[in-house]
Amino acid sequence: MSPGIHEFISIDLPPMLAGTFACLSCALVGNFLVLRRISLMGDAISHSVLPGLVVAFMLTGTRAAFPMFVGAAAAGLLTVGLVELLRRYARIEPGAAMGVVFSVLFALGVLLLERGAGRHVDLDADCVLNGVLEGMIWFPPSEWSEFATWQTLREVPRQVWTLMAAVAVVGVFVVALFKELRIVCFDPGLATSQGYPASLLNGGLMLVVACVTVASFEAVGSILVIAMLICPAASARMLTDRLSSQVVVSGVIATVCGVSGYVLGAFGPRWLGFDNALSASGMITVVAGVVMTLSMLFGPQHGAAVRFVRRVRFVLTIAREDLLGSLYRAQERGEMSLAIVEVADATGGAGGGLAVRVARRRAILRGQVQERAGRVSLTEAGQKEAASIIRSHRLWESYLVERGGFAPDHVHDAAMRLEHARDTERRARLEPPQPASAIDPHDRPIPPG
């Protein structure tokens, strides 16, 4: 084994594994917090486990994992219970109730840490926030063949095993209770009435959140825990429309964040020529933020950029159809072409001058309109499309007057909007039922379909 690989396995692999496992376990359970709109419960719990840890330490005097774990999980559940109590009996808005409970508990934890426990424990405020990823070291054997022995594996840092167990627990929890979690997140009332008590399932979910928080907390710090409970699930929510795929995608995102965040933190500065590493858990959080931003912008169905493009397209289509329509009307008056300036007036400049200009370009590109010496006219293809638009407009006008009982001079604006309506399934223009005559309320012919 080369020294480089040995160094990597010794110094970088344990924190990378621990960080990734922490990300994965938080992200899987985070899906249900995000869907139930109680993401901030994760924030609250991850703050308030601190006094639980400190009190457990003060009571037992050891840093043994089990009492600390019990203390922190108890503090987590206490938080949930107190918030519920305040919400129900003191009628305090849930956000404020959460804020009160976790800030007081967190303050208590910090104070206890400063006053007493801090002297004996290597728990300090810094490690609460940032974790101890950087401090994890493993001394692996120098030969590959010796890796699988009990002795070697026992020396792997404890956090790696703890977090691996956390991933397993969360994985089993989510897979086994997938159906139950889905129904309780979607419709707690129905869940209860079908024999899956919402309070029981919520309690279970919170207990798992508390356990995951505690297990991750020590290794990666509370900030990364909050980020991982929320960001991967929220990113996956932007990318998928089915709960099962959302859970899988969030897991993939969490794994990618964990590995790449650690690598960027540990090696990124070196690649840039600096010799000190950056905070690994901080960097994982940053990567999670970047992934989330990207998915919010570019998610295929729900991304903001996609929505924006869709809206622009819509505006342009309307402007183009208005252009074709006004050229058709001009033809009916005997003008075979219109000056560009007149067109802008005729279409009312809907969507601003820019939209009109772009729409004209697009109509020319599609071969529906030709431009010569500052005047535009319809091509043969354009003629057909324009007739269909005008037909739709006049059909709507007839419909509104005949069936809707509107006055003929009040229907133009409504028809102006309705003429653009399309059936989403067949992409065809929507047409109202045929009127009795082929003449519209303004005595103009309705072009045949």
The least distance separating other proteins from the CB of residue 32, rounded to whole angstroms, comes to 11
Asked whether the beta carbons of 184 and 191 are under 8 A apart, the reply is: yes
Report d(CA 181, CA 36) in Å as an integer.
Answer: 10
Give the three-state DSSP class for 93. Answer: coil
Asked whether the beta carbons of 1 and 204 are under 8 A apart, the reply is: no
Contacts of 419 (CB under 8 A, 6+ apart): 321, 325, 389, 392, 393, 396, 429
Nearer to other proteins, 54 or 387 (CB): 54
Nearer to other proteins, 219 or 359 (CB): 219
Start-to-end CA span in the chain (Å) = 78
Q: Which residues is 371 bridged to in the sheet?
A: 376
Residue 442 phi, psi dihedral angles, 5° rounding: -100, 20
The least distance separating other proteins from the CB of residue 357, rounded to whole angstroms, comes to 27
CA angle centred on 297, ends 293 and 300, rounded to 5°? 125
Nearer to other proteins, 228 or 324 (CB): 228
The least distance separating other proteins from the CB of residue 34, rounded to whole angstroms, comes to 5
Instruction: Scan residues 351-410 and list those touching other proteins (CB under 8 A).
Output: none
Selected from 65, 70, 183, 358, the binder of other proteins by CB under 8 A is 183
How many residues lie near other proteins (CB under 8 A)?
Answer: 90
Asked whether the beta carbons of 115 and 57 are under 8 A apart, the reply is: no
Selected from 19, 42, 52, 447, the binder of other proteins by CB under 8 A is 42
Nearer to other proteins, 277 or 416 (CB): 277
Which one of 31-39, 151-159, 162-170, 367-375 is the stretch in contact with other proteins (CB under 8 A)?
A: 31-39
Instruction: Scan residues 70-129 and list those touching other proteins (CB under 8 A).
Output: 85-86, 89-93, 95-100, 103-104, 106-108, 110-111, 114-115, 125-126, 129
Give the three-state DSSP class for 4. Answer: helix
Token reading at 229: 């409970």
Selected from 141, 289, 349, 404, the binder of other proteins by CB under 8 A is 289
The least distance separating other proteins from the CB of residue 432, rounded to whole angstroms, comes to 17
Report d(CA 337, CA 322) in Å as an integer.
Answer: 15
Selected from 6, 63, 158, 182, the binder of other proteins by CB under 8 A is 182
Which one of 183-191, 204-212, 403-411, 412-420 is the stretch in contact with other proteins (CB under 8 A)?
A: 183-191
Q: Mask of contacts with other proteins, 294-333, x by CB under 8 A?
A: --x-----xxx--x--------------------------
Angle of helix 243-271 relative to helix 178-186, nearest 10 degrees, comes to: 100
Selected from 187, 332, 345, 423, the binder of other proteins by CB under 8 A is 187
The least distance separating other proteins from the CB of residue 109, rounded to whole angstroms, comes to 8
The least distance separating other proteins from the CB of residue 197, rounded to whole angstroms, comes to 10
Q: Mask of contacts with other proteins, 213-252, x by CB under 8 A?
A: ----------xx-xx-xxx-xx--xx-xxxx--x------
Nearer to other proteins, 34 or 411 (CB): 34
Q: Which residues is 61 bridged to in the sheet?
A: none
Instruction: Scan residues 258-287 and list those touching other proteins (CB under 8 A).
Output: 265, 269, 274-279, 281-286
Token reading at 272: 């840039």
The least distance separating other proteins from the CB of residue 241, rounded to whole angstroms, comes to 4
Report d(CA 406, CA 278) in Å as an integer.
Answer: 70
The least distance separating other proteins from the CB of residue 273, rounded to whole angstroms, comes to 12
Instruction: Scan residues 194-213 and list those touching other proteins (CB under 8 A).
Output: 194-196
Report d(CA 319, CA 358) in Å as an integer.
Answer: 9
The least distance separating other proteins from the CB of residue 421, rounded to whole angstroms, comes to 15
Residue among 394, 410, 326, 330 at smallest CA distance from 363: 326
Report d(CA 282, CA 297) in Å as an integer.
Answer: 23
Selected from 122, 151, 154, 179, the binder of other proteins by CB under 8 A is 179
Contact between 189 and other proteins (CB under 8 A)?
Answer: yes
Report d(CA 212, CA 395) in Å as an integer.
Answer: 63
The least distance separating other proteins from the CB of residue 225, rounded to whole angstroms, comes to 8
Nearer to other proteins, 28 or 356 (CB): 28
CA angle centred on 271, ends 266 and 276, rounded to 5°? 45
Report d(CA 130, CA 186) in Å as an integer.
Answer: 34
Instruction: Scan residues 49-68 and list those touching other proteins (CB under 8 A).
Output: none
Q: What is the DSSP secondary-structure string of 177-237?
A: THHHHHHHHH-HHHHHHTT--HHHHHHHHHHHHHHHHHHHHHHHHHHHHHHHHHHHHHHHH
